Every structure is written in structure tokens, then in C-alpha cells.
């Protein structure tokens, strides 16, 4: 059983399109995250939700909008895709009970390519 | 501001050699956690270890060991008798705790190649 799953694994699309990436966790965790890994492998947090409440919202273009329908799901919607959005996007989850006490478990990643 | 530096961009060794990956961090917090994650060629991120700032005991898990030294703000990772399967990008990360969430600040990663 996959603990943190993401769909799709690969996403190739044209500039200007709108796309979504879905994430689901079956660990019973309260907190979920989105990270972006660029072509140089640098990982940076984008968003975090705790029980459907937005906790972390880093400096990300407002074309990116996270949506958490319930605590087991955190989707990422991207409007008007740009070439610079090409990256691997990772979803992660953690218990969310104490910040420091958490360990984040990551999904397999979604490789987004914008042409 | 929190910062993690992994000065070694790439390391290449021959199988069975020991190798140490360096991690230096900066934080003003007195309580914090440090992590190591492994990203094999398949691309997933695998959690390896979490260490809190109050526990400076070194940890060993099989061929892996970690050396945490607050005096030098370092959390180094050693692989003993390396194997080809250890080839991966390794990330050190520092946590900043927030209400209900945890902000991980990652280092740049060290690409480790183990040659047969």
C-alpha cells in the first residue's frame, strides 16, 4: 500500500494551459505539503495544510493554488503554465501534532514539463 | 534565517570505500530537528534519520552512521563499506516548527556515485 501517492507521475503540457496534480495519503496524518524540486535538484517548500487549514504559504506565484478537500488529500492547481514551472513536484505528509516532532514522508513526485 | 549547506556537490568513490557527506546548518532556534533524506535515481525521497537538537549522541544503523556536533553546527553522514545501491542524491534538512506544520529547509544535496 502506497503511503503518499501522487497522480499523474508525468505531466507534459503546453504553455498557458491549466493543470492539476493530485495527492493522497493513507497514513492518517493531519498535515500535508507541496514542494518544488528544480532542475538543479533544489527542494523548496511551497505550501502546507493542517486539517484543511493553510499553514505555510511561501512566496509562490498566485497561479499556484493548493486545495485540500479533506485532510487526506492536497491537490495543486496551476493556472497559465509557464516554462519556468517545469520541475518535479513532491507531496509530503506528517502527523502535524507538534511541528518539531514531525517527520515528513514524501510521495513519488510528479515531473511537470511545460513546452 | 535557517540555512543548510552541503558543500560537496558530487562525490565519487569505489565500492567498499567509506564516505562521509558533510552538512552544516545555521539557525537561531534553540530547539530544532535535523534530517537526512535519500533520493535514488528512481526519484523518490526516502527518509533516513531525524535528530533533535538536544541529543548529540551519534547514531548507527547498519552501514550508516550520523555524527551530530552542535559546537560546529554539523550533522555529517557516513556510509561504511559503500555499495552501488547507495548511489543517490542525499539531502540534509533543518526543520522550523510552526503551529501544526513543519517547514523543512533543505541543503543543495550531494550526489554520491559508488562505482563497482
Instruction: Please write the tens of the pLDDT for every residue from A40-63.
Output: 999 999 999 888 888 888 888 999
Is residue A99 scored above 60 in pLDDT? no
Q: What is the pLDDT of residue A102?
A: 82
Q: In chain A, which residue's Cα lies nearest the Cα of B107?
A: A42
Q: In chain A, which residue's Cα lies nearest the Cα of B32?
A: A100
- Under 8 Å between Cβ of B102 and A100: yes
Cβ contacts (< 8 Å) between A105 and chain B: which residues?
47
A104 vs B: CB within 8 A: yes
Cβ distance B39 to A40 less than 8 Å, yes or no, reads no
Smallest Cα distance from B26 to chain A, Å: 16
Cβ distance B109 to A108 less than 8 Å, yes or no, reads no
Q: What is the pLDDT of residue B4?
A: 97
B84: helix, coil or strand?
Answer: helix
Residues for chain B: how many in total?
116
Give backbone dihedrals phi and psi of B18, rounded to 5 degrees, phi first: -90, 145
* Distance between CA atoms of residues B73 and B65, nearest Å: 17
Each residue's pLDDT, cut to its tens digit, for chain B (116 residues) gives 789 999 999 999 999 999 999 999 999 988 888 999 999 999 999 999 998 888 888 888 899 999 999 999 999 999 999 999 999 999 999 987 777 778 899 999 999 999 99
What residues does B68 pair with on adjacent strands? B75
pLDDT band at A95 (very low <50, low <70, confident <90, very high): confident
Smallest Cα distance from B14 to chain A, Å: 24
Cα dihedral B32, B27, A31, A6, rounded to 10, equals -120
Question: What is the rounded average pLDDT for all residues in chain A?
Answer: 92
Q: In chain A, which residue's Cα lies nearest the Cα of B101?
A: A99
Cβ contacts (< 8 Å) between B47 and chain A: which residues?
103-106
Question: Cα A53 to the chain's mean position, in Å?
Answer: 15
Q: What is the pLDDT of residue B85?
A: 96
Q: What is the pLDDT of residue A106?
A: 95
Is residue A73 scored above 70 in pLDDT? yes
From the list A48, A73, A30, A96, the residue with the least C-alpha distance to B100 is A96
Burial class (CB in 10 A: 0-12, 13-18, 19+), B116: exposed
Q: In chain A, which residue's Cα lies nearest the Cα of B95?
A: A100
Is residue A96 scored above 80 in pLDDT? no
Q: What is the mean pLDDT of residues A4-33?
A: 96
Amino acid at each position: 500500500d502506497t503511503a503518499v501517492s501522487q497522480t499523474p507521475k508525468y505531466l507534459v503540457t503546453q504553455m498557458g494551459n491549466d493543470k492539476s496534480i493530485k495527492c493522497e495519503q493513507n497514513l492518517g496524518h493531519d498535515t500535508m505539503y507541496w514542494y518544488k524540486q528544480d532542475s538543479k535538484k533544489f527542494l523548496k517548500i511551497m505550501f502546507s495544510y493542517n486539517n484543511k487549514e493553510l499553514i505555510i504559504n511561501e512566496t509562490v506565484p498566485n497561479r499556484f493554488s493548493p486545495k485540500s478537500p479533506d485532510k487526506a488529500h492536497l491537490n495543486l492547481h496551476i493556472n497559465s503554465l509557464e516554462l519556468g514551472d517545469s520541475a518535479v513536484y513532491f507531496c509530503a505528509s506528517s502527523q502535524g501534532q507538534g511541528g518539531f516532532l514531525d517527520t515528513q514522508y514524501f510521495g513519488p513526485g510528479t515531473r511537470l514539463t511545460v513546452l | 534565517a535557517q540555512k543548510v549547506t552541503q558543500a560537496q556537490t558530487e562525490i565519487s568513490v569505489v565500492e567498499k570505500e567509506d564516505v562521509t557527506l558533510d552538512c552544516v546548518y545555521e539557525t537561531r532556534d534553540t530547539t530544532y530537528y535535523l534530517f537526512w533524506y535519500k533520493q535514488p535515481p528512481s526519484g523518490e525521497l526516502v527518509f533516513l534519520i531525524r535528530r533533535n537538537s538536544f541529543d548529540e549522541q551519534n547514531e548507527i544503523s547498519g552501514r550508516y552512521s550520523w555524527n551530530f556536533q552542535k559546537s560546529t553546527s554539523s550533522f555529517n553522514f557516513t556510509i561504511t563499506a559503500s555499495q552501488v545501491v547507495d548511489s543517490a542524491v542525499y539531502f540534509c534538512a533543518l526543520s522550523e516548527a510552526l503551529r501544526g506544520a513543519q517547514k523543512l529547509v533543505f541543503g543543495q544535496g550531494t550526489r554520491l556515485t559508488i562505482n563497482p
